[in-house]
Structures are given as structure tokens and as C-alpha cells.
Structure 1
Amino acid sequence: MKNEELEYLIDDFLAQVEKATALLEEKFGKRCILRLWGTKQIAQRGSVNDEVTYELHGVGCRVYLPDACVDFDYGPDERIDGFDSWRLYIYANEVPKKHPKYTELDHVKRDLDEYIAAGKVERIKNSMSRLYFKNKTLW
């Protein structure tokens, strides 16, 4: 079972997260900037450059890129490759022409639940509700 639309959404979301964290690293010297905020070395909200801003929250970060906003959580060991139905849904609504099917939360939940049941994604210990691909390169 392979759902190309769902994988396209997840891959697109994770590519934007990667882009956002690369910009954060360029600006702050770290991909995970939560500790910088926690130790008051940076503000909760601010600019990365003239076109990009960020907003930290809980264990995550929202980055406003020129074309879309991407909201992600830092996972165990500062992982950034986690996702969940809510974050995918929010992202799909940022770029609805790319992911029209997933502008409905029920569609995201249904397709993601099928991937969970099929064992293609898993919850990682200490990662709250975030999901990760088990080993995408093998299928």
C-alpha cells in the first residue's frame, strides 16, 4: 500500500521544515533554537532575515517563509522529521493548490491512520503525538 498523495504532502512538509531549520541555523548557529529561547539568548518571536520570521512555542517553532508558514515540533535528540495530522493539515491549507485533498482534516487523519495501521509510520518514544517514517527507503 502506497499513498502517493500523502507521501507528497509529508515530503513537501518535511522539505519546508528542513529549509526553515537551515535558515535558523544560519542565523543562530543551531538548528534547534529552543534552548536559546529558554536561556533568553533570543526572543520568542523574531526575524531570521528580511523575508522570514519565527515564533517559538512549547517544544516547537513556527517559521513564516515567503511562500508558506511551517509549524513543527522538535523531537527527541532535536529531530525535525516528525509530523502529525494537524501539522500536515495546517501546512496543506498554506499551499492548497499543491495539496487540495488534504485541506480537509478528516482526509489527512484517515490516510495517516491507514499508514499507522500498515506500520509505515510510528510514534517514537518521548515524542508526544509526532509520527516518523519507519524506513521509507525500503518501500
Structure 2
Amino acid sequence: MSDQDQTLDTLIHDFTSMVETSTLIFEKKFGTRDIRRLWHTRAIKRRGRVTRGVKYELHGIGCRINLSTGTVDFDYGPNGEINGFDIRRLYFFACERPSKYRKYCDKKIIEKEFAEYIDLKKIKKISLISNLYIWTN
């Protein structure tokens, strides 16, 4: 894939799709996609294994999930949403997959395109109290 073919749309879609897929594994194992409450009540440890090939590590308001297909680190939204994203997480997601997202391994490019998406109203803040963004449609 050439840099011309790479779009921020694709990166965001792939990131949010991997979060969706990963949290479905939580739902099957724990009965919820947002496992933070389980951690806070000590029902589960901060780090653990969900299945043989899936590990998680909870942090602050988010989670890092290691799958056999790669890693995704995300923050939950203010109401437990999983569809949010920010520049930092997209950048790390891209850097873990440089053959697919070489263009976005340059943080300045992500920052520039992200700002353009905000200006074009393609994305918006999930809420006033969050640093996460979501698609406007």
C-alpha cells in the first residue's frame, strides 16, 4: 500500500474495529465490555489473561489488549464507550503496524490530518470532559 492509499479514515476504522473485537472477548468472558469496575472491586487483577492468546492490562481509564494479531490501547469514554480515539493512540497503533501505516508513523502527519478532520467536522469530541474523539455521523 502506497502512502497515497493510506487514509486517516482507514486507520481510525481499523483501530476502532480492533477495540470492538477485543472488547467482545471481554464480554464473552466477564459479561461486560467495560471491565474497569471489575478491577476496581478486585474481582479481576489489573493485568491478566482472558484466553490463551489474549492478555489485558488496565490503566487509568483505559486498557491495553494484546492479541495474537497485535496490540491495541484505548481509553473508555465517560459512559464506558469504546468507539473513541485520539492522536496518541492512533499513532501508537500505526507504529505497531508500520508496513500497513508507514505514513502515520510520522506524528506530524497524524496531527495535521486529525486537525483537518476536526475542521471539516468529520470528527468531534466525545464529550466536554474527554480527550477522545468520535465520528460525527
Q: TM-score range by the shorter chain?
A: over 0.9
What aligned pairs does 1:120-131 form with structure 2 within 5 A after superposition?
120-131=122-133
Specify every segment of 5 or more residues in structure 1 that has no aligned partner in the other structure, as ranges: none
- Distance in 1 (CA, whole Å) between partners of 2:126 and 2:28 is 28
Pairwise CA distance, 1:76 = 2.5
What is the aligned partner in structure 2 of residue 90 from structure 1?
92
- Distance in 1 (CA, whole Å) between partners of 2:44 and 2:116 is 40
- Distance in 1 (CA, whole Å) between partners of 2:101 and 2:77 is 25
Tell me the SS of whatever aligns to 1:76: coil
What is the aligned partner in structure 1 of residue 117 from structure 2?
115
Per the normalisation by structure 1, the TM-score is 0.91
What aligned pairs does 1:1-139 form with structure 2 within 5 A after superposition?
5-135=7-137
- Distance in 1 (CA, whole Å) between partners of 2:62 and 2:54 is 16
- Distance in 2 (CA, whole Å) between partners of 1:122 and 1:96 is 27
- Which has the larger displacement, 123-132 or 55-64? 123-132
Structure 2 letter corresponding to 1:52: V
Whether the 8 Å contact between 1:60 and 1:72 is mirrored in structure 2 is yes
Whether the 8 Å contact between 1:76 and 1:126 is mirrored in structure 2 is no
For these two proteins, the number of residue pairs brought into alignment is: 133
- Distance in 1 (CA, whole Å) between partners of 2:52 and 2:70 is 15
Q: Give a deviation string over 1:77-97, Cα, whole Å, max 9, x none.
A: 211000000000000011111
Whether the 8 Å contact between 1:75 and 1:127 is mirrored in structure 2 is no
- Distance in 1 (CA, whole Å) between partners of 2:35 and 2:63 is 9
Per the normalisation by structure 2, the TM-score is 0.92
- Which has the larger displacement, 95-104 or 55-64? 95-104
CA RMSD of aligned residues (A): 1.3
Counting aligned pairs with the same residue, the percent is 44
Pairwise CA distance, 1:48 = 0.9
